[in-house]
Amino acid sequence: MNTELADPDDLAAIRAALDVDDDGESALGWDAVAAFEQEHGVVLPEPYRTFVAEISDGSHSGPPEYGLIGLASQPSDWATHWPDRDLSQPFPLTSPWLWEGENRPVEELDRLLDPVFSHGSVVLGTDGCGMYWHLIVNGPHRGHIWWISGEGAMPFGAEFGHTTGEPGFAGWVKHWAAGNEWFDVA
């Protein structure tokens, strides 16, 4: 997974998988991407960065289930559940965490969960029922995709043992396009 250079083959696979064929009209453009990065104190990882700048800022065809949302967007139910985003802060996790059923005071758990949902990631979209896909843009897992729900969080990619998919945005999209289950390791 290269988060610094976009592989043209990965970009072609992403374009085909997401059925984007509008000659970049739905893309943000490099000036808008640079402004977003400046405002939030991050540099987006490749190939997502080039995707939103040159190909499209989202897609109604998945992934995830309800489509890939725009860079500066949030799922419609986001504001009712989670705090404001701070992408300049590092994403706090490096390994899966199942917090459902933990015996902690609610205040402590909320304090620990707020950064998981709001620091160092852009939300790519939702599979519904409070299940969100995040692209990590700051911290040790920069460039990785994480599935975060009300019950727990886990990274996507074969190296983490839950899927056969390649890590990162391109691997995530290609895994979906191949018709694979998200977590396909028995």
Q: Hey, what CATH topology would domain 8-177 get? A: SMI1/KNR4-like (3.40.1580)
- Global model pTM greater than 0.75: yes
Rounded to whole angstroms, the Cα distance separating 63 from 82 reads 22
Question: Euclidean distance between the first and final Cα of the chain, in Å?
Answer: 24
SS3 52: helix
In this structure, what token pair is assigned to residue 22? Answer: 């509008």
Judge contact between 13 and 174, C-beta under 8 A: yes
CA 18 to chain centroid, in Å, comes to 15
Judge contact between 88 and 42, C-beta under 8 A: yes
Please give the pLDDT value at position 130. Answer: 84
Rounded to whole angstroms, the Cα distance separating 62 from 17 reads 9
pLDDT by position in tens, the chain (length 186) = 899 999 999 999 999 998 887 777 889 999 999 999 999 999 999 999 999 999 999 998 888 888 899 998 888 777 666 667 899 999 999 999 998 888 889 889 888 999 999 999 999 999 888 899 999 999 999 999 999 998 999 999 999 998 999 999 999 999 999 999 988 986
Rounded to whole angstroms, the Cα distance separating 81 from 143 reads 25
Judge contact between 156 and 172, C-beta under 8 A: yes
Q: How many residues does the chain have?
A: 186
